[in-house]
Every structure is written in C-alpha cells, then in structure tokens.
Structure 1
Amino acid sequence: MNKSLPSIVLLFGAVAVFSCSNPEEKSIPDAEINAWFDAQYEELLLMSPLQLTTQGRKDKYDQIDDMSEAGEDQRLAWMEASVKEMKEKFPFESLSPEARVSYQLWEYQYEMEKSDVAFRRMNYVFNQMSGPHTLLPNMLINYHRVDESSDMEALINRYQETGRAISQLLERAQLQTAGGIRPPKFAYDYVIQQSKALLQGQPFTPEGPEAPLWKDALLKIEKLEKEDKITSEQAQSLQNKAKAALVEKLKPAYEELIAFLESELPSLEEKPTGVSRHELGNAYYAQKLKSSTTTELTADQIHQIGLDEVKRIQGEMLAIKDQVGFQGDLKEFFQFINSDPQFFYPDTDEGRQAYLDESTSFLDEIKTKLPQYFGILPKADLVVRRVEAFREQPGAPQHYSQGTPDGSRPGTYYVHLSDMKAMPKSTMEGVAYHEGNPGHHMQVAIAQELESVPKFRTQMNFNAYAEGWALYSEALAKEMGQYQNPYYDFGRLVNEIWRAIRLVVDTGIHSKGWTEADAIQYFTENSSIAPGAIQAEVRRYMVIPGQATGYKIGMLKIQELRKEAETELGDQFDIRRFHDRILGGGALPLDILEKEVKRWIEEEKVRAE
C-alpha cells in the first residue's frame, strides 16, 4: 500500500459533556480542541506541497517538498512546539475519551519521528521499492491534475523543483555513504535501471518514443487545447517550456544521480546480510520493528510468532490439498500450483487484461455484500490498473494508492504484470480483497470521509493497523462467501502464510544474520509463491527493514480483539458495529486500538441493558 498523507475535512466532533476525575477542572468541548488540531494540522500540511497535492488541493501547486535534513529538522522542531502547546492548553483529564485519543495520536507521531532522527542516515535513501526517484515522477504524472493553463505552468515548475529535490536526496545518500551505510548491490542496480528508463526517449534522447514525463506533459497540454482553454500558440509555448525544464533541470539531476550510483556499485555487497551488519544496526532494527508493529515485541518474539503461524497455516493447506484430491505431499502440491498452466494467464496483452478484468469482477461481487458486515461504507470509487512501465518490476507486490478525500481521484489498486508467471490466478482473489474492498481501499476511504474526528486523523497511517486490517479482510472475505474455487481458497492461505513467513524472514535477515539465499530457501520450502515473487519479496525486506512484519502482527491483534468482543458480548455481538469501531476512528497504533475496543465492549454492554 502506498498511503502517507493527512486530510481536509472541515467538520468537528460533537461537544461532549462528562465528569472529570478532578471536579474543579473544567471540561473542554471536543469542538474546541478539534479546532486547534485542525489549525495545527493545516500549518503542518502547508510544509508539504506533495501532501497537499495527494489530497487533491492546489495550494503550493508549483512546489516540491524540502527533502534536506535541515527541512526535516525544521518540521520536527515545529512538531515539538506544537505538542508543548497542546499540553499547556488542554489538560488531558479535561478531555472526552475521543479527544484523548486525538491528543495521544498527536503526541505519538511526534515521539516516533523524534526517535527516528538518530537513525535517519540508516534508511536507504534510494532503493528499488520506495525510492523518490520513481515516487516524484509518479506524483507528477498521476497526482498533478491539469485543469487550467496555470496548472500546467505549475507542473513545469515542478519539473525544475524535482531536479532540486533529487539533488538534495543525492546529498543525503552521499552523507549516508560517508557514514559507511550502503544498501545491497541489487538495490542500486534497480534504481539505475528505473532512473535511466525515465530519461529514455524524447525529449531526452533524439530517437525513440516519448519519455514518460514528456508523454504525460503532451497529453495534458493537448487536453487543455481540446477544451479551448489555451490556443495552439499557447500550447506550443507550454511545450517549449516543459521541454526546457525537463532537459535543463530534471535531466542533469538524474544524470548526476545515475553517475553516483554507478560509481558506488563496486563498493556494494553482492550477498549482504541485513542491517545488523551496520554499526547501530540492532538498535535501528528494534526501532523499525516498534514503528512497523506499534508494539514492544522483540525480534525473537516476532520470529517465533512467525514460526508458529507457518505451522498452523500449513495444517489448513493440507486440508485443501486433500479436498481437491491431490496425491502427494504439500511440497509437491506447491510445485503443482507453481507450474500447472491452468493457474496462469498467458504472458500476452490479452492475459494481462484478463487478470485486471477478473480482479475487478471479484471486487464488484464482494461490494454487494459489504452492507451485511459494515454499517459505515466508503463513498469513494476504486479502480484496478497496471503499474506504469517505468516503475513496473517483475514479481513485485501489488499495492494500493489512495484517492482524494473529495473523491475527484479514485483509490487505485496497482498490479505489476510484466511477468505473468509471477502472478498466479490462485492468489489473485485474496490480493484483490486485500488491496481493494474490504481491505485497504475501504479502510483508507472511510478514514478520509470521517467527519467526527480532527482532520489529521483522517489521513494517519500506522503500518500494523492498515496492513493488519487488509490481511484480516482476506480472511473476512471467506466468511462473506467468497473463494468458491478451492484453489483460490488455497491461494488465500498462500497469501496468509506469505505474511507469516515475513515474520520469520525479516527477523532472520536483520537480527539473525540470514543471507538473501537463506531467506529465499525458507520461503521456497514453506510456500507455493512463485520464485520471481519470492526474490522480489526478500529484496524488499532487505531494503525496508521491519515494514513487512506489520501485516501478520496487525491481523492477529484484530482477530484477538474480535474474539474477545464475541466472548464478552455473546448474543449481543454485532459484526457490523465491531467493524465500524475498528474503522470508525481512523488508523490507530495497536495499543490504542486495543483500549478503544475494550471501551467499546463496555459501551455495548451498557447499551444492551
């Protein structure tokens, strides 16, 4: 999932009247503190032109964020002052339960960013998964909407600003290298390839088709001309300006980046272990686990949870193997699933379109069942798309990109389809529910549409909550009557064991000295995931330590909380109300989510009296 930014809903929660622990202390209405949060959040949001664009706003539309360490320090200093002001203005005991959650979240995000500062030169600036070298062009193509000529002028300025931002990030990568922190060699191999793809074709080279950014610029200018918003002369002028900005500002920055990356290749490890090989690596990894799981679980504890879950899920896999009458052991069944032609679409344009069409049909079908399981439903649309060619990777995981709060841009489920052998039909159904409904799209869209919480909460993202919910949604879809094909139900278990294996492999790589080969071997022996996807996955974990652990930890917590609610409430348990409680306050750290569900259970008991 690709979700990172805060929201723009201008509504406050209702005024709450309640007793305080100190009768002398005055209750503070929710509207008062929510108004303060909204004003503060607006200040914070204005520090990030890209976040504004992600939300569909055109403020600072011609700018790109300050990507320097100094810019990061400025933001953190602002957050520190904001938290201090909050504590002075709003005594915690004077707040309603809902306002206390907002208070804790505002402080929590500051404390986490403050803790990250000590390790900021350990995050690999450029990597194949989430590097800004592809993120920025993706933003310009897919998020920067051009409705008027002024929007195109702003985009042209952003081409220049992108050159500046890449140069700032390159400086950070050089500082990282000077400190002895280098990613695996494969990471820079990919980044070089991706960066060169952006500069391939016109106007950067005299021959070949239009490069991605140039093609996008021409289409946006052409649209303005067709809508009679500019003349042909103005269109030509905009084309000339866009070409100059791309060739004179953006291209040199990318060429400098490519030159640096290529100069680094001889110094990079071909067969690295995880971040524990770096000085402070163990402390850094502990911080990443805390951030990714929003728990205090150690690497050893997470590793063991993974081993236990792999064993449990394999038991369920054996039951389906026997159900379909396969003669052979589980490993042989994995090989069958991985190789039999019936489980793959052809590696053709028709096969790729068929994958997109069937995924869409699964999402259309489950959408009709949502009202039986949810009281709150998303208003925003969802579309299924293939990843753009310049950032597509064989076997790379599918992902979700959020839409705008106002619905002008739908949520998008993106699929990598360059290697159809890495995209089996069996796992396709579960992944659609994970990325779409009732998974990421539903959770993110509902959060963005909330009107009862401060704006910042409608856009918060906590890895374990968001990914845990999406993985929980894959299992929930079975309760909802999906996975009629037993092989697709097996694919659901493939997806789940995949996330359990992540707990074992991520901790193995970063805390137990596993190599890429060790991780691939464990993955291969315990799943039917395609070899190309396994390598892409392992390489993802190596450059983004800890992130992959949030999925299963989050799912297990949500399932644990549901079981507790079912036990405590008995016949009074309402699945729709439970789901509305999980989704109805936006993303939360798992410890806060647990407290909120326990509070809801007590409220439900009172309601039933």
Structure 2
Amino acid sequence: MPSVTRRAAVTGLFALSATAVALEGVIPRLAMAGQDGPADKALNEYLEKCWQEDLARSPEQRTRMGLPGPHDRWTLPDEGFQQLSLRIAAEQLQGLSAFDLEALSPTAQVSHKLFGQALRRQLDFYRWRHHLYAVSHLGGAHTEIPSFLIGYHAVNSAADARDYVRRLEGAGQVMDIAGENMRRQAGKGVLPPAFCFGRITESARNVIAGAPFEASAGKDNPLLADLKEKVGKLSIPTAEKQAIIRAGTRAMTDSLLPAYQRFLATVAEMADRQKDSNGVWSLPDGADFYRTQIMVHTGLDLTADEIHAIGLSETARLHAELREAMAAMDFAGSVQDFFQHLRTEPSIRFPDSAEGRQEYLATATAYIEEMGARLPEFFGALPKARVVVKPVEAYRENATPSAFYEPSSPDGARPGVFYANLSDMSVQTRHDLQALCFHEALPGHHMQIAIAQETQGLPTFRKYAWDTAYGEGWAMYTERMAKDYGFYKSPLNEAGRIVSELFRAGRLVVDTGIHAKQWTREQAVAWMGENTANPLADNANEIDRYFVWPGQALGYKIGMNKILELREKARAALGDRFDIRGFHDTVLMNGAVTLPILEEVVDGWIEGRRNAA
C-alpha cells in the first residue's frame, strides 16, 4: 500500500468502468495433502468450532465471505468486547493444548502451531490494546463504515436491502464506541500525532457531505447513491424499493449524521490536547511496545538496531543496482539526480485528465493480462477468482493509499480488486506501474489471498489469516520474480522495479528511526527524500503512515528477503530437482504463515522432493 494521496477536485471522473482480468488456462483443484487420520480430524473439528465461535462475533466477516444472512449488525469493539475476546482466546488455547502435536500430520502440525501462535499473541497483546490508535488519519470507524457498506454489503434481495438499512441505523453506535475508545486511550497517555487530526476531520466530513445530509446538495452522498443503485437492481415492486430507500435516508439523517457530529466533536477535543507528533517511543512503555510490534509484523526476533542496519545495507546495494539501470538508459548524473528526474519528468506521468485516468487503467490491465497469460509457467495452482482494476471512489480518496488490493470472495463470484487512487495523477507514474501491478494483483496479493481462500483441506481460519511479513513479503517477492523471468523489458520499467524495492528498504530505516531512534517527522522525510525516488509529498504521506502504524512497514522487505532466501536454499539443495512451480505452490497453498513456519514448510518440501527422487 503506497501513499495516501490528496482528494480529487473533480469527483465525476470516477464513473470509469472496471476492467476484468481473467486467468487463462486450466485451473487445477486446489487441495492440501494430509493424513486425515483420527488426530487430524479431531484437531480440524476443534479448529472449525473455534472459527465458528469467532465468526459469530464478527458480522462483517460473514458479509465479506458472502455467507447467508442476516447481515444487519456490526461488531461493537468496546471494553466488554475486548475482555470477552481475551477470555475466549484463553479458553481456546487451553483446548488446543489437549492435542498431541507429534500425532498430527505435517499439515495439521502447521495448523496447530499457527493457531497457538495467534492465540498467544492475542493474549500477550492485550496489555497493548490501548497503544494502537483507535482512530487515525489512515482509518477508523468514520471511513470503514461507508467503505464496508459500499464495497462488501451485497444487496441480492429485499432482505439484504433491509439489512443495509439496519446497519445504517446501527452505525451510530459504532461511531460512538470509536469516540469512547479515543477518550479512553487519551486518558492513558495515548493520542495520535498532532498531524492526524485535520485529516480525520476532513475524512469524517466527507462522509456526511451531499444529499440527504445537506439540503442544498445537488448530488447524492455515496452511501445514498450506493443504496439507490443496489435497491434499484432488485426485482421487487417499485413501492417496496421506494420504502427501503426512504428508510435508509431516515437512518442517515436521524442516526448517522448525529453520530458523525458527535465524533467530530470528540476529534476536536482530542486535537486540542495533542500538540506533538512523535513516534511510539513517547508513549508509556513505548520501547517495549515497539519491540512487540516488530515481532508482530516480522515474526522474527530482530532488534530495531538490526533492522535499521539491514535497511541501510539494502539501500546501498539498491543504489548500486540502480546505477546499472541508469547506465542502460544513458542517464548521466547521480542517483539523486535520477530521483529528481523521476519526480519531475512529465513524460513518465499519466495526464491529469479523464483520458489519462483511462490510460492508467488500460496500462495496468495490460500488465496484469501479460502476467496472467504466463502464470502456468510459474504456478501449478491458479485461483478461479478474477481480479479487476478500479479507481478508488471519490468519497475515500483522501483516506486510501495510491494503490491497494481488496480480496475476492471465497467462491470467486466477487473478484479481487486492484484499486488505483487517481485523485492526484502527479504520483501515478509509468516507470513503477508494472511492478505495482505484479505486487497488488498478479502474481502478488490476488494469487496469495484467492488461493488461500480456495484451497480445500485447510482449516477455515488458515484461509483468512494474515501475516504482514508473509503477505507483503510475497507481494514484494513477485516484483523481483518478474525480473527473473524477463517481464521488465524496458530499462525504465526495470528502474521502476528497483526504486520500488528501494522504497521498501528505506522503510526499514525510517520506521526504526521514528519509533526507536526518536527521529522527528522532518528527519524521516528528509532521509526518504535523499535516498528514495518517491515524490517528496508522497514521502511525507508515507512517513505519516509509519507514525501511526508502527512496525507494519518492516514486513515488506524482511518478508521478501526471507522468501528469496528460502527459494535459493531450495534451489541449492535440490539442484536439477528444483521446480519453481512446486516452490511457489508450497508457499501459497499453506495460506498466510509466519516466516519461521514458512521455513519449516519449505524445508519439508525440500525433504519430500529429495525422498521422491
């Protein structure tokens, strides 16, 4: 997820149609091998029971999965909910301890270890529950409510539409809890950095702009427009459609609007109390908290100093690699000169027009289609879900990165989406778009997430698990994998791949700089400006993201390096018996795992190949 960009001045441009990208070729049945003996069966039944317990407490996840309704409630993450979650995790861990690890098949052992790790992490992290900001400029209930309803709440029946209305009616309670959590955190000395509050306010106000919130508005609010569009497609009497839309409109004005106004008052109150913008070192027990975040997002026992050193080393290596690409382009000058060229050269930017936005979408689609046509060379398992390219909706442009991925449904009916934030075309550049498409769509996040969801034989919790270093590491790995198989045909696109990796290497330096070495915001922005090619304004937005999401930015490069290390380890161990398709399937068909468990899985695959030879 690159940077948050500015809100578009012209919102009507985003009626652009999505372009679908189908996966060509024969798609094999995705299935995990296992003993399926009594021990495995008992464990899987227990894991499914735990999953269903958790799913019952997450109405949003049921909707995302496309499960039967009703879909009329929200998770209410107040203190009581968090305390209940802690008790359930402790009970589930106690139940898990009854299973003998040695009696399980290798696949079931991975499930046991992953579930146990997740539960222990949840229990250990309870003490830090107030340190992760309840609301920041990156998100919170104020943006998640409309994004969820518009993006995930399908309306295939009148019952679905009435559920949508009930969710609008209940959203005020979610907003009030967000405000309460902000106040509770502030009472414990935890407030987001000062720079967040203006952006939080702007995002919240955008949600309650337009009809029916503003009497003189000439345009429907995105929520009202979404409800009208979804209800309009139903095969029900017109009078029933009108009644549902009237009820939804009342819910927006009578419930949602006052809740947002209360939320904005809370944000203003918190803004008056926070005048500084510091890393988490400034929070109570901030150093311990950051160590926890490093483990959460990398899965490895690394110190901030070690990660900082890796970042500096990788930055120097990539600068040298970039000089080779610059020479291929006949570019005379320093690395910093080339950075300035990338930041200012008009020819590598898409035009700031409707045509330019269409060209961006078409170019991204072409890159994804090219990769899609060759996927059978590199993967034995392919997902059935499509991936589509879409522009970010206008209402959330100022609260999303310049590009990101949203998953497909488990049955493949809802495609995965590569979203491009086209509000600020100055940051949408040609040189790095190819690598970005590989990262977000194919063979990056879409392959990874869709295959996990579709693989048979995995416990349900593994289909929907997420691990930062695995997930973002895989997406970064695919950028490099594409180089290994000749996809970057122009020196400019190869330079784009390098600066993309360089950007992630720089994150290791600045994230640890901000949160462990007490760098100021200005120091971090200046370092990124000197050592990476990102636009300077984009760097500032990135730095702001690291301030409020400590440790998350570390997972990309740490995870990529580990997957590359494991690939070369397997290649060296197997020689002619190494199979890139088998390696990739091994990495992907286990779902999201921590890096230590991924190494165990790959080691098992290596041993299996040796024994089969």
Bin the TM-score by the shorter chain: over 0.9
Counterpart of 1:294?
299
2:62 is the alignment partner of 1:57: no
Residue 35 of structure 2: which of 16, 30, 41 is its match? 16
- Give the aligned residue type for 1:477: A
Taking the TM superposition and a 5 Å limit, the aligned residue runs for 1:211-360 are: 211-224=221-234, 229-269=235-275, 272-360=277-365
Unaligned runs of 5+ in 2: 3-29
Higher RCO, 1 vs 2 (CA within 8 Å, ≥6 residues apart): 2
Counterpart of 2:27?
none
Counterpart of 2:126?
117
Deviation of residue 566 (structure 1)?
A: 0.8
SS across alignment from 1:392: helix
- Give the aligned residue type for 1:128: H
Taking the TM superposition and a 5 Å limit, the aligned residue runs for 1:107-146 are: 107-146=116-155
Residue 450 of structure 2: which of 445, 449, 457 is its match? 445
SS across alignment from 1:412: strand
Q: Which digits, 9 at most, give the CA deviation of each residue in 1:533-577, with x for residues without a partner?
A: 111111100011100000000001001111111111111111111
CA contact (8 A) 2:203 2:398 kept: no
Residues 58, 246 of structure 1: alpha-carbon distance in 2 compared, 3 angstrom cutoff: farther
CA contact (8 A) 2:32 2:455 kept: no
Taking the TM superposition and a 5 Å limit, the aligned residue runs for 1:453-472 are: 453-472=458-477
CA contact (8 A) 1:502 1:549 kept: yes
Q: Which digits, 9 at most, give the CA deviation of each residue in 1:210-263, with x for residues without a partner?
A: 111111111122222xxxx32222122112110111111111111111111122
**More deviation, 29-38/97-106:** 29-38
Instruction: Work out the CA distance in 2 between the residues paired with 1:452 and 1:267.
Output: 52
Counterpart of 2:20?
none
Residue 194 of structure 1: which of 203, 206, 215 is its match? 203
**More deviation, 426-435/55-64:** 55-64
Instruction: Work out the CA distance in 2 between the residues paired with 1:580 and 1:237.
Output: 50
Q: Which digits, 9 at most, give the CA deviation of each residue in 1:344-363, with x for residues without a partner?
A: 01111211121111011100
Q: Which digits, 9 at most, give the CA deviation of each residue in 1:79-102, with x for residues without a partner?
A: 2212211222x2222111111110
CA contact (8 A) 1:394 1:533 kept: no
CA contact (8 A) 1:56 1:408 kept: no
- Give the aligned residue type for 1:193: E
2:552 is the alignment partner of 1:553: no
Residues 478, 59 of structure 1: alpha-carbon distance in 2 compared, 3 angstrom cutoff: same
Q: What value does the CA root-mean-square deviation take over the aligned residues?
A: 1.6
**More deviation, 233-242/136-145:** 233-242
Q: Which digits, 9 at most, give the CA deviation of each residue in 1:499-543, with x for residues without a partner?
A: 000000000000001111111111010111112211111110001
Residue 42 of structure 1: which of 25, 44, 52 is its match? 52
Instruction: Work out the CA distance in 1 between the residues paired with 2:433 and 2:269.
Output: 40
CA contact (8 A) 2:351 2:425 kept: yes
- Give the aligned residue type for 2:96: M
Counterpart of 1:31?
41
Instruction: Work out the CA distance in 1 between the residues paired with 2:81 and 2:233.
Output: 36
Instruction: Work out the CA distance in 2 between the residues paired with 1:316 and 1:13.
Output: 39
Counterpart of 1:166?
175
CA contact (8 A) 1:468 1:552 kept: yes
Instruction: Work out the CA distance in 2 between the residues paired with 1:472 and 1:81.
Output: 37
SS across alignment from 1:603: helix
Instruction: Work out the CA distance in 1 between the residues paired with 2:422 and 2:50.
Output: 42
CA contact (8 A) 1:394 1:422 kept: no
Q: Which digits, 9 at most, give the CA deviation of each residue in 1:263-305, with x for residues without a partner?
A: 22232235x2201011111111111111011111111111111
Instruction: Work out the CA distance in 2 between the residues paired with 1:107 and 1:507.
Output: 28
CA contact (8 A) 1:12 1:31 kept: no
Deviation of residue 177 (structure 1)?
A: 1.0
Instruction: Work out the CA distance in 2 between the residues paired with 1:176 and 1:389.
Output: 31
CA contact (8 A) 2:32 2:458 kept: yes
Q: Which digits, 9 at most, give the CA deviation of each residue in 1:367-426, with x for residues without a partner?
A: 111111111111110011111111113993411111110112111111111111111111
SS across alignment from 1:384: strand
Q: Runs ≥4 in structure 1, deviation > 4 angstroms?
A: 11-15
Instruction: Work out the CA distance in 2 between the residues paired with 1:59 and 1:72.
Output: 25
2:90 is the alignment partner of 1:80: yes
Residues 55, 395 of structure 1: alpha-carbon distance in 2 compared, 3 angstrom cutoff: closer
SS across alignment from 2:233: helix
Counterpart of 1:476?
481
Counterpart of 1:6?
none
Q: Which digits, 9 at most, give the CA deviation of each residue in 1:417-469, with x for residues without a partner?
A: 11111111111111110000110000001000110211111111100000000
Residues 382, 13 of structure 1: alpha-carbon distance in 2 compared, 3 angstrom cutoff: closer
Q: Normalising by structure 1, what TM-score? A: 0.94
CA contact (8 A) 1:462 1:589 kept: yes
Instruction: Work out the CA distance in 1 between the residues paired with 2:420 and 2:537.
Output: 15
- Give the aligned residue type for 1:195: A
- Give the aligned residue type for 1:463: T
Counterpart of 2:101?
92
Counterpart of 2:497?
492
Instruction: Work out the CA distance in 1 between the residues paired with 2:102 and 2:250.
Output: 58
Residues 258, 291 of structure 1: alpha-carbon distance in 2 compared, 3 angstrom cutoff: same
CA contact (8 A) 1:337 1:343 kept: yes
CA contact (8 A) 2:33 2:107 kept: no
CA contact (8 A) 1:292 1:550 kept: yes
Unaligned runs of 5+ in 1: 3-10, 18-26
Counterpart of 2:157?
148
Counterpart of 1:583?
588
Instruction: Work out the CA distance in 2 between the residues paired with 1:86 and 1:427.
Output: 45
Instruction: Work out the CA distance in 1 between the residues paired with 2:175 and 2:70.
Output: 19
Q: Which digits, 9 at most, give the CA deviation of each residue in 1:146-203, with x for residues without a partner?
A: 0111111000000122111111111111101111211112212111101100100111
CA contact (8 A) 1:397 1:533 kept: no
Taking the TM superposition and a 5 Å limit, the aligned residue runs for 1:380-399 are: 380-393=385-398, 396-399=401-404
SS across alignment from 1:393: helix
The size of the alignment, in residue pairs, is: 585
Residues 243, 600 of structure 1: alpha-carbon distance in 2 compared, 3 angstrom cutoff: same
Q: Normalising by structure 2, what TM-score? A: 0.93
Instruction: Work out the CA distance in 1 between the residues paired with 2:370 and 2:32.
Output: 34
2:570 is the alignment partner of 1:565: yes
SS across alignment from 1:127: coil
SS across alignment from 1:250: helix
- Give the aligned residue type for 2:173: R
